Every structure is written in structure tokens, then in C-alpha cells.
Structure 1
Amino acid sequence: MERSLRGFTGAGYDKGRPVLVQAAWFAVLHLVFVKWWFPARWRPAVLRAFGARVGRGVLIRRGVRVHWPWRLEIGDDVWIGEDAWLLNLEPITIGSDVCVSQGALLCAGSHRRTSPTFEFDNGPIRLEPGSWVAARAVVLRGVTVGRGAVVGAAAVAHRDVGPGSVVRTGAAA
């Protein structure tokens, strides 16, 4: 199939807030939120101010990027490590006692590979309580990581991960 990216329309995708709110979020994100000097204890409050639902005891380290805070729900006692990226074109729900480690990517956006114009094929992500997305792991759109499950370092979860299961790279454990 030939691609014609010039014809991309993004049909059916709603960013969820007016352009001025989007611009304000991107300014705060890039000028303050991701910076090493911005106190970790203030990051949950900033996310709440932009519409995220964030529980108690949430620790968000420096360099964490959240695409749309208003599409984010975080439970209690969650850790999000340095340089994690929450690309939440659709909702991302993170249950309580979840760890999203350094450099992890939660990618709720994608494209239809059969679309000549590469239109969106997005889907929500859910991390159930007690799960762990380890360093540089990737969770793709539409995936639920079950209670107590682990997506190991550098692994890719491209389909649901059952409760207590472990997804790892091809290397021997």
C-alpha cells in the first residue's frame, strides 16, 4: 500500500480541551513540570490543576511527560520514574501502588496501518493496582496490565497482561 501522509485528517480525534488550555499545559509542562529543580511534591497538584485525577502519596520524578493531564487518572501511592512518558491521546488509568519506572512509555496513541493516510488507531491503557512497568518498558494502546503484573525492563506489552504475569524481553532471566 502506498501512503499519502499529506492526506492525514485525524478524523474523530478530540483533544478534549480548547487550544488555549492545550497551549497553557504545554508551556507549564516544558518550562516547569519536567525540570529537575521543580519539586516532585508539587507535580501532582499541577496535574490536578489541569484536570487529572491524582490520589495521595503520588511521587512523580523529573523529566516525566504527560501529554494530556485531563486524560489521566492516578491512584494512591504511585511512583512514576524519571523520564517516563505518558502519551495519553486516550485515557490512561493507573491504579494504586503502581510503579512506572525510569524511561517507560505508556503509548495510548497509534495509527491504522491499513489506512493510506495513517489515521489514528488510539486506545486507553489501564495499569491495575500493584502492577509494575519497569525501566524502558513500553505499554501500547488498548492494553490492560493486570493486578500485580510486571512488564519487565525494555519489554513491550502489545496485548493485555494477565494478573500476576510477567512480560519480558527475549533474554533469559
Structure 2
Amino acid sequence: MNIDISNKPSPHSLKVKIKRVLWAVCYTIFFRTTPGPMRRWRAFLLRLFGAKVSPKARISPSAKITMPWNLTVEDFGTIGPYAIIYSTAEIHIGKQATVSQYSYLCSATHDYEDSHFTLYAEPIVIKGQAWVSADVFVGPGVTIGEGTVVGARSSVFKDLPAWKVCVGNPAKPIKARIISRDRSHEKNPLSDK
């Protein structure tokens, strides 16, 4: 059986298509070109397009956000360089949660068994203090529990529990995440000596 999607209509309304074009222009001219420290300006631009983004959020200018009106980022939530936020459905990044560089939060996929190859979208939730580390893929409908760490280059297709370290493809908990002590007062080993 062949699937022919050549005449398939877009699942997006004309209004959404227009908003996406306007956002693409704004992103290219006013968002992507800003210096790193201009976080409040980028948060403001995202809010102009309907995002619920704290002025304290830290969003890299190279992060790619598809539909900002489906994005929520709480206080000190971070989206790192070159992260892709494919927000066809709601994506919620909790307080002090981090989505590191090159990670891909993908809230939509296609039904490959459907002859129409139908697009469907489900929300993604990254709860507070979680860390999605470098180059992680998070699929539609996933919730990453509070305080959970997802190891680099993992793929997440199912919910992950709170306060765990999870790795692999698919990502699975391997141990508890235990915060041993506050090291913020110690000298950073990467700083100049």
C-alpha cells in the first residue's frame, strides 16, 4: 500500500500559518540577532507572540522556537544554544529547569499507520529543577519529573519520574539524583586562577 500525501491539506489554519510567518520574520530580525545578555528582550518578544515567559527566563538567541504561543518558561528556566522547541502543542519548562544545547523538544509527530499521515500533537512538560542535558530528544506527550537529569544524547519517549538520573535510548532511570551539598561558594575550577 502506498501513502500519497502530495495533496494532503495542512493541519494548520490560515491564522496559525500567518502567525508562524510573522514570528519567523520577528525571530530572524529581532530575536536571533540579539547578544546573549539581552534575555529580557527575547522574553518580551516571545510574550508579544503569546508565550508565557518569565522576564527571568534565560533563552539563548540561537534557540529555535516554532510556535511561541504554545510555550511557557518559568523563572530561571533555561533554553540553551541551538535547542529546538517544536511547540505545535504546549511545552512547559518549569522553574529553574534547563534544556541544554542542541536538545530537541518535539511536541508533534505523524501517525505512520494512517493513510493520511495525520499530524498529532501532545504537550511536553519539563518540571522544575530538571535538567535535559546536551543533544537530548524529548517526544510528544512526555513529562520529565521534578529534579530529574536526562543524560546527554538520550531519547525520551515516556514519562520520567522525579529526582532520578536517566540515560539511554530510550531513557531509563539508573539512579536517584541526590543533591549532596551547596558548592556555590567554592571557586569555579574553570575560572581564571
Q: Same fold (TM over 0.5)?
A: yes
Shift of the 149–17 alpha-carbon distance from structure 1 to 2, 3 Å rule, reads: farther
Counterpart in the other structure of 2:2: 2
In the TM superposition, residue 165 of structure 1 has moved relative to its aligned partner by 2.3
- Out of 33, 36, 43, which is 1:35 matched to? 33
- Would you say the 8 A contact 2:42–2:61 is kept in 1? no
2:130 is aligned with 1:131: yes
CA separation in 1, counterparts of 2:105 and 2:73? 13
2:72 is aligned with 1:73: yes
Counterpart in the other structure of 1:90: 89
Counterpart in the other structure of 1:108: 107
CA separation in 1, counterparts of 2:103 and 2:20? 23
- Would you say the 8 A contact 1:95–1:130 is kept in 2? yes
Counterpart in the other structure of 1:159: 158
Taking structure 2 as the reference length, the TM-score comes to 0.79
Instruction: Specify every segment of 5 or more residues in structure 2 that has no aligned partner in the other structure, as ranges.
Output: 175-193
In the TM superposition, residue 167 of structure 1 has moved relative to its aligned partner by 2.4
CA separation in 1, counterparts of 2:14 and 2:106? 17
- Would you say the 8 A contact 2:90–2:107 is kept in 1? yes
In the TM superposition, residue 18 of structure 1 has moved relative to its aligned partner by 4.7
In the TM superposition, residue 15 of structure 1 has moved relative to its aligned partner by 5.6
SS at match of 2:21: helix
Shift of the 16–81 alpha-carbon distance from structure 1 to 2, 3 Å rule, reads: farther
Taking structure 1 as the reference length, the TM-score comes to 0.88
Q: Which amino acid aligns with 1:133?
A: V
CA separation in 1, counterparts of 2:7 and 2:158? 29
Q: Which amino acid aligns with 1:102?
A: Q
Q: Which region of structure 1 is more displaced relative to structure 2, 137-146 or 51-60?
A: 51-60
State the identity as a percent: 28
Instruction: Specify every segment of 5 or more residues in structure 1 that has no aligned partner in the other structure, as ranges.
Output: none
Counterpart in the other structure of 1:122: 121
Judging by fraction of residues, say which structure has more strand.
2
Q: Which amino acid aligns with 2:63?
A: V
Shift of the 165–23 alpha-carbon distance from structure 1 to 2, 3 Å rule, reads: same
* Superimposed CA distance per residue, residues 10-61 of structure 1 (whole angstroms, 9 cap, x where no aligned partner): 4xx4469454333211101122312354733311011011111112421111
